[in-house]
Amino acid sequence: MKQYFLFDALIDTQKSAPLAIAARTLIDFLKINAIPFKGAKADIGSEILSLNAIKFFYTNAFTISLASKESRDILCIENSSFTSLSMTKDALNNDEDLKSIIARQLKHDGIELNLDASIVTLEHVLIEEIGAQKLKTLVQHSFKKFNVALYLGTSVCQARKFTDVTLSEQLLDLAGVKRIRYASAYESDGYEILDHAPQIAKKLASDILLDMFDNAADFVLISDARSFMIFDLYQKELEKIAQRDIELSVLSLPQLLLLAFGVVDKKSTGLDLHRVSITMI
């Protein structure tokens, strides 16, 4: 198995902590060779790109260079960080002027620009390295009685250039969960404008939650730290905007797989930090 740095310095680290906790538990459970990524700069989200492109590329180039120096690839556990790092590597490899600017800034801080490290998703490692058959033998609790709303959102639209979304669907099939169809799977959850236009952002998110709920979702599976925060931490506010009781549990893929594998301790899965209770346990 390849050697990885586990990138868990997610955007808004404290609020997105449940995702990182669950990912670390899953990595240990499956004995994936992914060690803590000390020194990596925290994800700042691709929405900063239009506000301060140099800051965006510098932040991510620093992290990629650090991993490259240690000859380890970067294992991302959600799409915000994966998209940011992948966009940075792609941009610098295709724009020599930008690459020179970032290289000079990094050198000023004692870092040599190096883009050798690969950026991979957890889904890729699970399917391509561990394998669906082995994962299937680990399943103790099937989710066949539950319907999931797989929320893809605009971040996945960006990430599609770099990854295959069907890997997530294969892992859902292993857990036995049924996916519902709903109209707003690729619509913005509003997180990118939450600080500047909170009411508009929450209206966007509440419409998506209602769409999921009205199409018989039992829970939401998110692939991005930003989506977790707005659907879980703000769900009570979203219910007030929608003037409906929704109460939809929100899970990340590592949390779903841990539950399927029989790991139900709320602290080690990060579920104790959720605002919306998890009804599947």
List, for residues 131-154, the tens digit of each pLDDT value. Answer: 999 999 999 998 999 999 999 876
CATH for 4-122 (3.40.50.300, 1.20.1050.140, 2.60.40.3080, 3.50.50.60): 1.20.1050.140
pLDDT at 281: 64
- Calculate the average pLDDT of the chain: 92
Ranges in the chain annotated CATH 3.40.50.11810: 132-273
Class (C level, CATH) for 132-273: alpha beta
Model confidence pLDDT, tens digit, residues 201-224: 999 999 999 999 999 999 999 999
| Cα→Cα distances 65→72, 105, 122, 134, Å | 10, 12, 20, 33
CA atoms within 13 A on the CB side of 150: 18
Residues forming CATH 1.20.1050.140 domain(s) in the chain: 4-122
Please, what is the Cα angle at 157 between 202 and 59, to 5 degrees? Answer: 85
pLDDT digits (tens, 9 = 90+) for 116-136: 999 999 999 999 999 999 999
Do β-strands 178-179 and 219-222 pair in parallel, antiparallel, or remain unpaired?
A: unpaired
Section 77-82 average pLDDT: 93
